């Protein structure tokens, strides 16, 4: 993939852009890594946070450097009940072991959501796909608020297909989910057995019917979620058994791209466990790195419960923002930890769920505050 060059990558961009605006299913392959896009530097002095806030209230557009690190987290007890009464004084934030001064602490119950639902349609999902589609349809019907939230549906095997670009229309999303079909590899006869010489509808694609999970995550974060509004909560819901067979990107590269897009990944490990199995450790690590959770439903009831918990978590979050003491813009990975300092809360052994770190900026970026 990476040797196909920039021209192939541009074609992929155009294909995805077309799908996002038309809603038509379009195949998108993860192509060569893009060149870093040039970003404008502000020639104006950077105002203090108070000055920025005052000018914003007056309606003046100001330019501020994006130095703050935003970290979303949830707190739950041993019964997975969310705790919504924490205060700033109850926690401590460290970056690479160094304590950080919290600039913002607030509950997030109404933040707009941008959700990408990634559905594995390789042969290992044949038995469970109907239940997956039913649960996903119910999920988008309850979580997507018109004119506030948006979601997209992407199916994938060896390549990713945008079944529906980002939209706030639950009906369009439900129709897209219903269109999703299993793609079998050439020569597949069932039970995990493949023999030669049997054509399929995608026989021209040598990766048809394979599973490229990391490519699907990478291209979703790069081409879809990274272009959404700064104020939205970016989320990937991944339905798969976790067995990647054909990705050109590594898992670490997919995780890094998702983190740079501030996207959290919720994994639902599901598939034909008898013939293929589920890569539980892989999916747990994938989700934990980005601040998400992994679920492994045994039946349709468990599957619907997993979607319900994802919805509840997205509506029960806290936002912590801080200006890191390490001011180096070197693009390095910074480890973030949030811990309870309230003795009474520590006794309850609450589980805090959040992304484990981020990649520092490598150059000055600006954004508009209105």
257 and 228 Cβ atoms separated by less than 8 Å: no
Span 139-143, mean pLDDT? 95
Higher pLDDT, 361 or 19: 361
Residue 43 has pLDDT above 50, yes or no: no
Q: How many residues does the chain have?
A: 370
CA–CA distance from 279 to each of 90, 268, 270, 276, 290 (Å)? 36, 11, 9, 9, 18
79 pLDDT band (50/70/90 cuts)? confident
110-124, 155-169, 179-193, 349-363: segment of lowest average pLDDT:
179-193
The mean predicted confidence, pLDDT, of the chain is 81
210 pLDDT band (50/70/90 cuts)? confident
30 pLDDT band (50/70/90 cuts)? low
28 pLDDT band (50/70/90 cuts)? low
Span 59-86, mean pLDDT? 77
Give the per-residue pLDDT at 355. 93
Give the per-residue pLDDT at 80. 84
29 pLDDT band (50/70/90 cuts)? low
Higher pLDDT, 370 or 190: 190
In three-state secondary structure terms, 35 is coil
DSSP letter at 108? E
Residue 260 has pLDDT above 60, yes or no: yes
The DSSP bridge partners found for residue 153 are 117, 164
**For 263-320, how does the pLDDT look when each residue is reduced to its tens digit (9 = 90+)?**
999 999 999 888 788 999 999 999 999 999 999 999 999 999 999 999 999 999 999 9
Q: What is the second-level CATH architecture of the domain 67-109+317-369? A: Sandwich (2.60)
149 and 115 Cβ atoms separated by less than 8 Å: yes
Residues of the chain above pLDDT 90, percent = 64
**Residues carrying CATH 3.40.50.410, the chain:** 5-29+111-314
Give the per-residue pLDDT at 273. 82
**Residues carrying CATH 2.60.40, the chain:** 67-109+317-369
- Say which residues have a Cβ less than 8 Å from residue 194's Cβ, sequence separation at least 6: 185, 186, 187, 188
Residue 9 has pLDDT above 50, yes or no: no
192 and 245 Cβ atoms separated by less than 8 Å: no
35-39, 106-110, 226-230: segment of lowest average pLDDT:
35-39
pTM of this prediction?
0.77
Residue 4 has pLDDT above 80, yes or no: no
Separation CA 318–CA 52 (nearest Å): 23
67 pLDDT band (50/70/90 cuts)? confident
Residue 249 has pLDDT above 60, yes or no: yes
How many CB atoms neighbour CB 247 within 10 A?
23
CATH superfamily of 5-29+111-314: von Willebrand factor, type A domain (3.40.50.410)
């Amino acid at each position: 993939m990476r040797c196909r060059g920039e021209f192939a990558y541009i074609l992929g961009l155009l294909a995805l852009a077309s799908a996002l605006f038309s809603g038509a299913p379009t195949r998108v392959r993860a192509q060569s890594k893009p060149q870093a896009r040039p970003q404008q530097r502000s020639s104006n002095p950077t105002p203090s946070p108070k000055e920025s806030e005052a000018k914003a209230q007056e309606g003046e557009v100001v330019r501020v450097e994006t130095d703050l690190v935003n970290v979303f987290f949830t707190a739950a007890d041993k019964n997975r009940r969310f705790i919504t009464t924490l205060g700033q004084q109850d926690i401590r934030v460290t970056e690479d072991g160094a304590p950080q001064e919290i600039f913002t602490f607030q509950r997030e119950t109404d933040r707009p959501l941008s959700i990408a639902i990634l559905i594995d349609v390789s042969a290992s999902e044949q038995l469970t796909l109907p239940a997956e589609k039913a649960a996903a349809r119910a999920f988008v019907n309850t979580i997507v608020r018109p004119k506030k939230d948006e979601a997209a549906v992407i199916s994938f095997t060896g390549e990713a297909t945008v079944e529906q670009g980002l939209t706030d229309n639950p009906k369009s999303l439900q129709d897209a989910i219903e269109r999703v079909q299993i793609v079998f590899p050439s020569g597949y006869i069932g039970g995990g057995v493949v023999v030669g010489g049997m054509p399929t509808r995608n026989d021209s694609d040598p990766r048809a019917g394979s599973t490229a999970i990391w490519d699907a995550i990478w291209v979703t974060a790069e081409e879809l979620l990274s272009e959404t509004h700064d104020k939205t909560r970016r989320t990937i819901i991944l339905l798969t058994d976790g067995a990647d067979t054909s990705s050109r990107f590594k898992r670490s590269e997919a995780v890094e791209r998702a983190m740079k897009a501030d996207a959290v990944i919720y994994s639902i490990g599901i598939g034909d466990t008898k013939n293929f199995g589920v890569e539980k450790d892989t999916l747990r690590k994938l989700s934990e790195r980005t601040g998400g959770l992994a679920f492994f439903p045994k039946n349709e009831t468990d599957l619907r419960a997993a979607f319900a918990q994802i919805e509840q978590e997205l509506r029960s979050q806290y936002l912590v923002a801080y200006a890191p003491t390490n001011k180096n813009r070197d693009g390095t990975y910074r480890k973030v930890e949030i811990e309870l300092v309230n003795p009474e809360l520590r006794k309850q052994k609450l589980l805090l769920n959040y992304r484990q770190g981020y990649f520092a900026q490598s150059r000055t970026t600006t954004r508009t505050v209105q």
